[in-house]
C-alpha cells in the first residue's frame, strides 16, 4: 500500500503552509495506518513494532501529536481532501478500536524484550547495510529531512527534539548526563542544515525563499485544529484500561489523556 507521490507533496506543503511544527505527522500516521490496515484486512493477530518506549521520547502535544488522524484531516483541508489519502483513516480511533477490541489484534513493542542499544544498532546499519547518517548521530539519523525539520522546530518553538532524545537516553542508562550535556552544547551551535533543506525544497518543489516565508510567524499546534485530544481526555478512564491491559504504553496514556 502507498500514497500517491503528488498527494504526499501537497500534504507536506499544507503542513508548511499552515505553519505546523510537527512535520513528521504524515510519516508517523502513515506507518500506523499501514500496520492497522494490514492487521484488519489480513486478520493478523500480532503486530510487532520497532518503536522503543525505552529510548524514543514522547513529545508533548504542543510539539507533536503523532497519532491524531482527526488533526491531520483538519490541517490538510481544503488543500488536500481526506478522500485523496483514504488508507490514513485506519489510524483513526474507530479503526484502531475495531482492530484492538473486535479483531483482537495485539501490538507489541519488540525493543521492550531485547537489548536495544541504539549506538550498536546505528553502527550495524551503517557498516553492514550501508545506511547513511544524515543527522550526524541525532534522532532518526536515516531520514534526510530530519535535520531540517528539527531545525525548523527549534526556530519556531525554541526547543529541539534532540533534547528529548538525549534525556530519554540518559533515563534508560545508555548515556550519562555529562555526555548528554556535551552533545547538547554541540547541538546549540549547529548551523542551518543547508543540504537537508535543499533536499526538502527539491522534493516538495518549493523555492527556498518561499520556504522561509512559510516558516515565519507563530507555529500552530493542536489548540488551533480539531483533534482527538478532548475526546481522549474525557474518556481517560478507558485509555487507562487499555494501558493496564497492555494495549498501549503508560507514556502514551499520560500524553493523550492524563492531566
- Exposed, middle or buried, 240 (CB in 10 Å: 0-12/13-18/19+)? middle
What's the grid cell of residue 6?
503528488
- Distance CA(96)–CA(256), nearest Å, equals 15
What's the grid cell of residue 207?
523555492
Is 7 in contact with 85 (CB distance < 8 Å)?
yes
**Helix residue ranges per DSSP H, 56-193:** 69-76, 93-97, 118-129, 146-157, 161-171, 177-187
- Distance CA(142)–CA(122), nearest Å, equals 9
Q: Is the pLDDT of residue 74 over 90?
A: yes
Residues 5-18, mean pLDDT to the nearest whole number: 88
| Beta-strand runs (E) in the chain | 46-49, 106-109
Q: Residue 36, SS3?
A: helix
In the beta sheet, which residues pair with residue 109? 49
pLDDT of residue 234: 85
Residues written for the chain: 259
User: Per residue in 168-224, pLDDT tens?
Assistant: 889 888 889 999 888 877 666 567 888 888 998 999 998 888 887 777 777 788 888
Residues 74-93, mean pLDDT to the nearest whole number: 92
Among 4-8, 121-125, 140-144, 240-244, the minimum mean pLDDT is found in 140-144
Q: Is the pLDDT of residue 227 over 60?
A: yes
- Distance CA(94)–CA(80), nearest Å, equals 21
pLDDT of residue 259: 59
- Distance CA(23)–CA(13), nearest Å, equals 10
In the beta sheet, which residues pair with residue 49? 109
What's the grid cell of residue 71?
488533526
pLDDT of residue 7: 93
Q: Which residue has the cell 521520547?
A: 57
Query: Following CA atoms 61, 181, 178, 254 in sequence, which dihedral angle do they give, to the nearest 10 degrees?
Result: 0
Q: How far is CA 148 from CA 130, 142, 188, in A?
A: 22, 13, 14
User: Per residue in 23-66, pLDDT tens?
Assistant: 788 888 998 999 999 999 999 999 998 888 778 877 777 777 76
- Distance CA(214)–CA(50), nearest Å, equals 33
In the beta sheet, which residues pair with residue 107? 47
Banded pLDDT at 86 (limits 50, 70, 90): very high
Residues 94-121, mean pLDDT to the nearest whole number: 88
Model's pTM, two decimal places?
Answer: 0.82
Amino acid at each position: 500500500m502507498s500514497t500517491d507521490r503528488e498527494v504526499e507533496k501537497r500534504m507536506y506543503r499544507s503542513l508548511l503552509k499552515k505553519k505546523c511544527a510537527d512535520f513528521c505527522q504524515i510519516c508517523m500516521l502513515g506507518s500506523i495506518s499501514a500496520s492497522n490496515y494490514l492487521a484488519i484486512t489480513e486478520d493478523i493477530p500480532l503486530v510487532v513494532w520497532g518503536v522503543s518506549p525505552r529510548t524514543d521520547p514522547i513529545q508533548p502535544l504542543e510539539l507533536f501529536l503523532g497519532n491524531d488522524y482527526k488533526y491531520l484531516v483538519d490541517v490538510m483541508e481544503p488543500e488536500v481532501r481526506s478522500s485523496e489519502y483514504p488508507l490514513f483513516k485506519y489510524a483513526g480511533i474507530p479503526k484502531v478500536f475495531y482492530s484492538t477490541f473486535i479483531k483482537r489484534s495485539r501490538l507489541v513493542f519488540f525493543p521492550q524484550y531485547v537489548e536495544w542499544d541504539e549506538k550498536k544498532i546505528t553502527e550495524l546499519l551503517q557498516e553492514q547495510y550501508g545506511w547513511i547518517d544524515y543527522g550526524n548521530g541525532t534522532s532518526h539519523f536515516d531520514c534526510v529531512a530530519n535535520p531540517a525539520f528539527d531545525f525548523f522546530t527549534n526556530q519556531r518553538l525554541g526547543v529541539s527534539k534532540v533534547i528529548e532524545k538525549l534525556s530519554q537516553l540518559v533515563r534508560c542508562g545508555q548515556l550519562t548526563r555529562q555526555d548528554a550535556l556535551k552533545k547538547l552544547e554541540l547541538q546549540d551551535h549547529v548551523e542551518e542544515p543547508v543540504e537537508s533543506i535543499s533536499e526538502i525544497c527539491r522534493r516538495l518543489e518549493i523555492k527556498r525563499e518561499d520556504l522561509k516565508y512559510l516558516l515565519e510567524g507563530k507555529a500552530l499546534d493542536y489548540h488551533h485544529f480539531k483533534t482527538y485530544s478532548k475526546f481522549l481526555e474525557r474518556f481517560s478512564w478507558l485509555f487507562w484500561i487499555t494501558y493496564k491491559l497492555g494495549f498501549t504504553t503508560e507514556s502514551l496514556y499520560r500524553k493523550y489523556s492524563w492531566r
